[in-house]
């Protein structure tokens, strides 16, 4: 429908002046042998600002066509199509060529052709040439070819056709590892970090023609391909993949159905595992270590019961969080991972809890099994309830952090039915609980643990320090929540609003948006370790780049809506939109090269020999 409308719009207003494209035939041979197949091509040279179209023209346009008139026995193969560029005009996205292009093809000489004769190959060529509007173009062309006992090369023609054929994409099975239907889009997974990759669908009406957003991980990239309006679920991904600086390749992959849930369960489980390595979980490591040490000499059966209780606390905490988020979704309210820390009352309670846990570890006061279980990791005599609440405490402490894979998995889960969402959050909890639960139920490890003794009192005092550090950090978050909003510093970072980003894009700028929060420790690590580095600040300060910071410390429905639009349910989220391109989503844990690659300013990668 969009393509038909676009074609009508482009043809409705045709300028009086035509002839903005020069057409000619080129040949790699001046003389050919009987029975030979040789290279030739249609050359189209466009005036500045004009373009012609690819085999799939996109929302508007017509591909060039050629109709031959041959002597008896001669024949031609169809055009081969070099990789196109994306042409955006208002709401229309088309595919085509600017400046000049040669569409290579092969011509075949009949075996009965007589040496010493000359063949006249006539062609009627039609195309659509466009700038602000479009006019049909046509030409009648001839190619004279001598038939001889020995073929003779036309050096200039052969070189031109060879260069054009080098731009024709070839199938490369190693370029992409799979295509998965997630219920709304096809996720085309590319091998390697390729934030500027573009996909051009070969068949009209299968995928939307707009540039697909990219989600970047350290060793892979996903292009989110939306089906075309009114199209069904795609069965294959067939088209051209273009990565700047590399030869274009053809992609032809089946779309796997029904595996989305399994994939996102695995992503959530992996995110839960990695959550144990995030900075916000460090205070809980002290709690876990004390709990593990307190079980020296414990029977394997008892250790397994405590491990199961701890895992249950973690998993049920995740399920409770999922229930709250699903309830908010049903009520039309947008919440995300870490939303409890957007409440001053919750942050104040956590500040007091971590401070009290630190005092408890110092021995300032002793409390019963409940708080002790939360504060010190529990000893065996404190029962299953203590182990359960230790798991709850672990997930409370993890709220300020987002591990790799978590954002995509949880963002997807909150768009799915309740059963799939609960399963995904459960997988996150299982991953978070798995390392500690396995260690505490490992008989060989339990036999080697030292017996509890007076030395543990000194260790408790050492472990009190991260509790106080966490309490101080939460007090700072509380101040950010209740005090007047801190304005974004001038210069490099600009305050985020949708209108400000749209204005920057309208001015032809590349935009970088940092969705973060004061309570998000992963955000702070990225800010100090990557975004504040000299190389990244220099790239963000370029005159063709506009950097925005969206502060989600307190609830903001506009930011929540943006996160949901990109398939995320929490921060951090980093979105780069190259000039004239679609969004590139960077991973939760940044590296300098990932940011510089997305901004198009990374130094050349070292060669591997």
Q: With bands split at pLDDT 50, 70 and 90, how would you rate the model's confidence at 383?
A: low
The pLDDT value given to residue 220: 85
pTM above 0.85, yes or no: no
- CA gyration radius, the chain: 31
The torsion angles phi and psi of 17, rounded to 5 degrees, stand at: -85, 130
The pLDDT value given to residue 114: 92
CA distance 522 to 513: 16
Q: Which residues contact 344 (CB under 8 A, 6 or more apart)?
A: 478, 481, 482
Asked if the model's pLDDT at residue 311 lies above 70, the reply is yes
The pLDDT value given to residue 120: 93
Q: What is the pLDDT of residues 170-227, one digit of tens each?
A: 999 889 998 988 778 899 999 888 888 999 999 999 999 998 888 887 788 999 999 9
DSSP state of 107: E
CA distance 151 to 141: 23
Asked if the model's pLDDT at residue 147 lies above 90, the reply is yes
Q: Which CATH number fits domain 2-168: 2.60.40.10, 3.30.450.370, 2.40.10.350, 1.10.3470.10?
A: 2.60.40.10
**Alpha helix stretches (DSSP H) within 66-218:** 155-166
Q: Which residues contact 459 (CB under 8 A, 6 or more apart)?
A: 289, 290, 293
The pLDDT value given to residue 17: 36
| CATH homologous superfamily of 493-599 | Glutaredoxin (3.40.30.10)
Q: How far is CA 404 from CA 122, 274, 573, 590, in A?
A: 60, 7, 11, 10
Which one, of 527, 586, 588, lies nearest residue 278 by Cα? 588
Which neighbouring-strand residues pair with 118? 146
Helix (H, G, I), strand (E, B) or coil at 605: coil
- Contact by Cβ (8 Å): 584, 197: no
CA distance 216 to 32: 51
CA distance 250 to 72: 35
How many residues in the chain?
Answer: 609
The torsion angles phi and psi of 245, rounded to 5 degrees, stand at: 85, 0
Q: What is the mean pLDDT of residues 121-139?
A: 92
- Contact by Cβ (8 Å): 145, 70: no
CA distance 600 to 195: 9
Of the ranges 212-216, 437-441, 575-579, which one carries the lowest mean pLDDT score? 437-441
What percent of the chain is modeled with pLDDT above 90? 36
Asked if the model's pLDDT at residue 435 lies above 90, the reply is no
Is the model more confident about 433 or about 607? 433
Asked if the model's pLDDT at residue 18 lies above 50, the reply is no
Asked if the model's pLDDT at residue 461 lies above 70, the reply is yes
Q: DSSP string of 198-214?
A: EEEESSTTTB-SSPPPE
CA distance 504 to 511: 7
The pLDDT value given to residue 15: 31
Asked if the model's pLDDT at residue 449 lies above 80, the reply is no
The pLDDT value given to residue 377: 40
Q: With bands split at pLDDT 50, 70 and 90, how would you rate the model's confidence at 291?
A: low
What is the Cα 104 distance to its own chain's centre?
A: 34
What percent of the chain is modeled with pLDDT above 70? 81
H or E segment to which residue 68 belongs: strand 65-69
What is the Cα 188 distance to its own chain's centre?
A: 10
Q: What is the pLDDT of residues 394-424, one digit of tens each?
A: 787 776 666 666 777 777 777 677 888 888 8
Of the ranges 79-93, 302-316, 406-420, which one carries the lowest mean pLDDT score? 406-420
Of the ranges 251-265, 355-369, 532-546, which one carries the lowest mean pLDDT score? 355-369
Most confident of 20-34, 257-271, 300-314, 548-562: 20-34
Which one, of 178, 180, 238, 231, lies nearest residue 206 by Cα? 231
What's the burial of 418, exposed, middle or buried (CB within 10 Å: 0-12/13-18/19+)? middle
Q: With bands split at pLDDT 50, 70 and 90, how would you rate the model's confidence at 445?
A: low
Asked if the model's pLDDT at residue 19 lies above 50, the reply is yes
Q: What is the pLDDT of residues 226-243, one digit of tens each?
A: 998 877 888 899 999 999
Average pLDDT score over the chain: 81
Dig out the tokens for 147 from the structure.
């038939």
The domains of the chain are located at 2-168, 186-258, 276-472, 493-599
Give the other-Cβ count within 10 Å of 46's Cβ: 21
Asked if the model's pLDDT at residue 580 lies above 90, the reply is no
Asked if the model's pLDDT at residue 478 lies above 90, the reply is no
Cα Dmax for the chain = 109
CA distance 27 to 84: 22
Q: What is the mean pLDDT of residues 459-467?
A: 77
Which one, of 549, 602, 601, lies nearest residue 573 by Cα? 549
CA distance 305 to 382: 13
Is the model more confident about 364 or about 593? 593
Cα dihedral sign for 265, 266, 270, 273?
A: positive
| b/e per residue 210-222 (b: at least 16 CB within 10 A) | bbbbbbbbeeebb
The pLDDT value given to residue 474: 81
Is the model more confident about 203 or about 561? 203
């Amino acid at each position: 429908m969009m393509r038909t409308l676009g074609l009508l719009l482009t043809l409705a207003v045709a300028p009086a002046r035509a002839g903005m494209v020069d057409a000619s035939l080129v040949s790699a041979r001046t003389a050919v042998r009987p029975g030979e197949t040789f290279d030739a091509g249609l050359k189209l040279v466009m005036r500045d600002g004009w373009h012609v179209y690819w085999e799939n023209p996109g929302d508007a346009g017509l591909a060039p066509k050629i109709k031959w008139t041959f002597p008896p026995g001669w024949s031609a193969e169809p055009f081969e199509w070099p990789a196109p560029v994306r042409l955006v005009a208002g709401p229309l996205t088309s595919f085509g060529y600017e400046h000049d292009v040669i569409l290579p093809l092969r011509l075949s000489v009949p075996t009965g052709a007589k040496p010493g004769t000359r063949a006249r190959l006539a062609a009627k060529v039609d195309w659509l040439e466009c700038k602000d509007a479009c006019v049909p173009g046509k030409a009648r062309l001839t190619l004279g070819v001598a038939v001889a006992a020995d073929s003779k090369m036309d050096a200039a023609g052969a070189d031109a056709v060879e260069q054009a054929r080098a731009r024709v994409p070839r199938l490369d099975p190693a370029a992409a590892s799979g295509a998965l239907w997630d219920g709304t889009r096809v996720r085309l997974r590319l091998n390697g970090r390729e934030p500027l990759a573009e996909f051009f669908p070969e068949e009209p009406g299968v995928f939307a023609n707009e540039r697909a957003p990219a989600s970047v991980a350290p060793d892979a990239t996903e292009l989110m391909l939306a089906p075309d309006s009114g199209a069904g679920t795609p069965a294959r991904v067939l088209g051209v993949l273009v990565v700047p600086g590399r030869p274009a390749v053809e992609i032809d992959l089946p779309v796997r159905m029904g595996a989305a849930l399994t994939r996102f369960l695995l992503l959530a489980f992996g995110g839960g595992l990695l959550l144990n390595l995030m900075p916000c979980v460090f205070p809980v490591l002290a709690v876990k270590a004390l709990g593990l040490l307190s079980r020296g000499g414990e029977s394997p059966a008892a250790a397994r019961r405590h491990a199961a209780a701890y895992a249950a606390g973690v998993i049920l905490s995740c399920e409770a969080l999922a229930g709250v988020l699903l309830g908010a979704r049903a009520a039309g309210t947008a919440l995300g991972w870490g939303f409890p820390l957007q409440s001053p009352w919750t942050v104040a309670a956590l500040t007091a809890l971590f401070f009290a846990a630190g005092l408890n570890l110092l021995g300032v006061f002793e409390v019963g099994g409940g708080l002790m279980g939360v504060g010190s990791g529990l000893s065996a005599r404190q029962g299953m309830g203590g182990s359960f609440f230790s798991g709850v405490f672990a997930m409370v402490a993890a709220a300020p952090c987002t591990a790799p894979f978590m954002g995509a998995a949880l963002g997807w889960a909150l768009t799915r039915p309740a059963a799939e969402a609960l399963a995904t959050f459960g997988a996150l909890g299982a991953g978070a609980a798995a390392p500690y639960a396995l260690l505490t139920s490992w008989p060989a490890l339990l036999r080697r643990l030292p017996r509890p003794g007076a030395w543990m009192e000194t260790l408790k005092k050492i472990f009190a320090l991260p509790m106080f550090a966490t309490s101080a950090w939460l007090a700072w978050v509380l101040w950010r929540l209740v005090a007047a909003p801190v304005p974004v510093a001038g210069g490099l970072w600009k305050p985020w609003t949708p209108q400000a980003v749209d204005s920057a894009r309208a001015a032809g700028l590349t935009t970088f948006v940092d969705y973060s929060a004061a309570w998000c420790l992963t955000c702070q690590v990225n800010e100090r370790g990557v975004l504040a580095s000299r190389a990244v600040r220099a790239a963000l300060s370029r005159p063709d780049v506009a950097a925005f910071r969206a502060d989600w410390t307190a609830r903001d429905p506009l930011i929540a809506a943006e996160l949901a639009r990109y398939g995320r349910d929490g921060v951090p989220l980093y979105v780069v939109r190259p000039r004239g391109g679609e969004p590139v989503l960077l991973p939760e844990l940044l590296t300098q090269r990932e940011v510089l690659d997305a901004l198009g300013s990374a130094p050349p990668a070292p060669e591997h020999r």
